[in-house]
């Protein structure tokens, strides 16, 4: 007989304690999964936490590249991805083989890859970055030339912040953020003229230029919390609304457009977390050599 939601949540708590497991969830996960998690955050926050926790098992409520990053940083831990087909279309827009070929065009460039990449791609880059620390990472690199992959929108955002470096952009993008247009912003602003626009740097340049603030999910959450403003239009995946509303009950948040939904992030449910813990489903395993090479790029990021 199928367990009800309350039973599953109680069982998850019991198994988590019994197995010395932690549950981490990205800000884009569904509300119920965020409530289950020990830590909720952006890629950077979760990367750091997974590297520091003493847990034996990490249940990663996110997408495939995130669980891989956790495994790279903690190869001795068991990392579970509750929905094995929760992928990332942006991460799929680049392969290690294609990056190797592209690097040949720019022999003097440092290779920086967004964390939204596979372990095999991370193994071919010099340093990783997240949307939280991308500008700091680029500024820390001595090279004047950068090959940045795979997000052309984040790369364009960085290029504006660091004009003294020549940045070559891979033509990748997040299908959720990239579909937001100038017209979407104009329409939302006409309905809510007194709301500030907070946008993620995975959005198009035209959207970022119209935003009052551009930052990672964690930075958007902090900005909204510290702002004296009371109304906000949010130009990032809808999952972030849960924490924004929870942290700021006296403020109003509107999703900038209804298209801001990542189907992959919405695959994880309370039941899939339960099954992950009960059946060790689905374990992330990586080649040792890939782990070693990819870890260097992630640890270089974490050191900054």
The tens place of each residue's pLDDT in the chain, 304 residues long, gives 567 889 999 999 999 999 999 999 999 999 999 999 999 998 878 988 998 999 999 999 999 999 999 999 999 999 999 999 999 999 999 999 999 999 999 999 999 999 999 999 999 999 999 999 999 999 999 999 999 999 999 999 999 999 999 999 999 999 999 999 999 999 999 999 999 999 999 999 999 999 999 999 999 999 999 999 999 999 999 999 999 999 999 999 999 999 899 999 999 999 999 999 999 999 999 999 999 999 999 999 989 8
The CATH architecture to which 5-87+265-285 belongs is 3-Layer(aba) Sandwich (3.40)
- Residue 89 to residue 116: CA distance in whole angstroms: 9
Please give the CATH topology (third level) of the domain spanning 176-255: Rossmann fold (3.40.50)
Amino acid 180: pLDDT: 97
Determine the pLDDT at residue 103.
Answer: 97
Where does the chain hold its CATH 3.40.50.10800 domain(s)?
Answer: 5-87+265-285, 91-173, 176-255
Percent of the chain past pLDDT 90, that is, above it, reads: 95
Q: What is the pTM of this model?
A: 0.93
| Closest C-alpha to 134, from 216, 52, 25 | 216
The CATH number for 91-173, chosen from 2.160.20.10, 3.90.190.10, 3.40.50.10800, 3.90.1300.10, is 3.40.50.10800
Residue 1: the pLDDT is 52
Output the pLDDT for position 3. 75
């Amino acid at each position: 007989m199928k367990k009800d939601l309350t039973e599953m949540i109680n069982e998850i708590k019991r198994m988590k304690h019994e197995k010395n497991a932690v549950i981490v969830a990205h800000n884009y996960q569904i509300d119920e999964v965020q409530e289950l998690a020990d830590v909720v955050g952006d890629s950077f926050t979760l990367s750091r936490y997974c590297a520091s926790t003493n847990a034996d098992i990490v249940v990663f409520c996110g997408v495939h590249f995130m669980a891989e990053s956790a495994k790279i940083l903690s190869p001795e831990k068991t990392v579970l991805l509750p929905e094995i087909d929760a992928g990332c279309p942006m991460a799929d827009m680049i392969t290690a083989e294609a990056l190797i070929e592209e690097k040949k065009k720019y022999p003097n460039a440092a290779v920086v890859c967004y964390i939204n990449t596979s372990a095999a791609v991370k193994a071919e880059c010099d340093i990783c970055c997240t949307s939280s620390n991308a500008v700091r990472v680029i500024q820390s690199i001595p090279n004047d030339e950068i090959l940045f992959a795979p997000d052309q929108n984040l790369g364009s955002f960085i290029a504006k912040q660091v004009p003294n470096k020549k940045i070559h952009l891979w033509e990748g993008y997040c299908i959720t953020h990239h579909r937001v247009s100038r017209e979407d912003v104009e329409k939302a602003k006409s309905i809510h003229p007194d709301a500030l626009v907070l946008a993620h740097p995975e959005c198009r340049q035209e959207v970022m230029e119209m935003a009052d603030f551009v930052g990672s999910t964690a930075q958007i959450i902090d900005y909204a919390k510290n702002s004296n403003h009371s109304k906000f239009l949010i130009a990032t995946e809808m999952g972030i609304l849960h924490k924004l509303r929870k942290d700021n009950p006296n403020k109003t948040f509107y999703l900038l457009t209804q298209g801001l939904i990542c189907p992959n992030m919405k695959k994880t449910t309370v039941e899939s977390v339960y099954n992950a813990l009960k059946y060790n489903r689905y374990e992330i395993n990586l080649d040792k050599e890939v782990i070693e090479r990819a870890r260097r790029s992630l640890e270089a990021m974490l050191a900054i």
